[in-house]
Structure 1
């Protein structure tokens, strides 16, 4: 497998951080900027990696809960 020399790493861009009352400030702008950078990385053939946080039981980002999904 040939690994591209450039990679884009997207960390914890999950529903719980980007939607609802716990959303980061300017979540809509954050989503737009992630999309712009993601499109450019894909067009350039860069490796794209998404990291997803697994929260503890009962937290909004517990695996399978709505806030956990990317």
Structure 2
């Protein structure tokens, strides 16, 4: 059984991951559509934020997946 704290951390981590991934995807789409100029610094920063958020989400999921972290 998961604790309320674990559930809250899981939800916060998931929301953070979805937000980071969405910002990254929107930036790439805007570049692809030529609505924005390519900024490697911005793309790298958003990618790093997305990876960090996914790692946090993977760790927060462990109590819900039999103790296993989501790989990534």
Higher Cα Rg, which structure: 2
When normalised by structure 2's length, the TM-score is 0.41
Q: Greater strand percent: which structure?
A: 1
Bigger relative contact order (CA 8 A; separation at least 6) = 1
Q: Greater helix percent: which structure?
A: 2
